Amino acid sequence: MVLMISVLTVNLLTDYITGYIIHYRADLNPFKFTAIVMLVLVFILVPAYSYLGNQVEILVARLLVKGSNSFGKIIGLLFSFALIFSILYGIYLQQLFHINLVKYLGELLFR
């Protein structure tokens, strides 16, 4: 569970960084710009991924343990995982399809 949530979280962060860099493409030659972006991404994302991967993994493990301490070992762990996964699902849904999950569920429930 920790690994799955860590990978999804770090992927969100790296996608954000990638989008930010690509947003600043100027009127450069596409071949030069692609090479520059690839180099910048490697020099930024490799250290960031190795650092953030460990930090996110520690944070997720703490959250899962805290949830298991609050609600009992198995139920708390599953509840914490479901909560964290639901938040990530909503963020991915917003990024990929521009759908607000909270608003969508609200409309679905209160029709």
SS (H, E, C) the chain: CHHHHHHHHHHHHHHHHHHHHHHCCCCCCHHHHHHHHHHHHHHHHHHHHHHHHHHHHHHHHHHHHHHHHHHCHHHHHHHHHHHHHHHHHHHHHHHHHCCCHHHHHHHHHCC
pLDDT in tens, 5-54: 777 887 888 788 778 877 777 677 888 888 887 887 788 777 877 777 77
pTM of the entire predicted model = 0.69
pLDDT at position 111, please?
A: 82
pLDDT in tens, 54-98: 787 788 778 777 777 777 777 877 887 888 899 999 999 998 899
Provide the residue ranges of all domains of the chain, joining segments of one domain with +: 2-109
pLDDT at position 109, please?
A: 92
